[in-house]
Amino acid sequence: MTYHSSRLGPFTLQDEEILKFPEGLYGFENETRFGLLPFDPNVECPLKWFQSLSNPELAFVVTDPLLYTPGYKVRLSAEEKALIGASGKDTLCTLVIVTIPRDFTKMTANLVAPLVINTRTLIGRQFVLSNPEYDTAHYLLPEEVRSGHAAQLA
């Protein structure tokens, strides 16, 4: 089926590519169906668009947190796994929402509220972690990159 994105224009997804978030996302509880699209179809990039299928204006930038925080772990209880239909054999995909400011070197990820998707059922949920190690604005790029870029802009 063809959908629309204000950022990417029309795009096509098959039913088996649609991610279902029955409870929506925090602050967007009515948005329950999403597509995962390339950030830029012409460039290989670790960022993706998490595009609402009912609202062309609503899309989040997401990424795999392990690319930036190698020790990142989401520990879910059996009850939490059941919310996304996960059994012991299912593979779970974890994504985090990214904020990209004007100075892109200072982009951050919300490690406290990851999106966890069961790759078999394509059912996902946004969980809130209580790990004090993580914060809602974790810099993705190292300090030397962030400060070096700022010095070049001055």
Q: What is the 3-state secondary structure (H, E, C) of 84-147?
A: CCCCCCCCEEEEEEEECCCCHHHCEECCCCCEEEECCCCEEEECCCCCCCCCCCEECCCHHHHH
Task: Name the residue range of residue 21's domain.
Answer: 2-153
CATH code of the domain covering residue 52: 2.30.290.10
Domain count, the chain: 1
Instruction: State both tokens at 23.
Output: 């409870």
Instruction: Compute the mean pLDDT over every residue in the chain, rounded to the nearest whole number.
Output: 92
Predicted structure pTM score: 0.90
> CA-to-CA distance for 15 and 34, rounded, in angstroms?
11
106-126 per-position pLDDT tens digit: 999 999 999 999 999 999 999
- Contact between residue 145 and residue 105 where contact means Cβ atoms under 8 Å apart: yes
Closest listed residue to residue 91, CA positions, set 119, 123, 126: 119
13-28 per-position pLDDT tens digit: 999 999 999 999 999 9
Which residues, listed in sequence order, are joined to residue 35 by a DSSP beta bridge? 51
Judge whether residue 154 has pLDDT over 70.
no
Confidence of residue 84 (pLDDT cuts 50, 70, 90): very high
Confidence of residue 92 (pLDDT cuts 50, 70, 90): very high
- Give first-to-last CA distance, the chain, whole Å: 47
3-state secondary structure of 149: helix
- Contact between residue 136 and residue 127 where contact means Cβ atoms under 8 Å apart: no
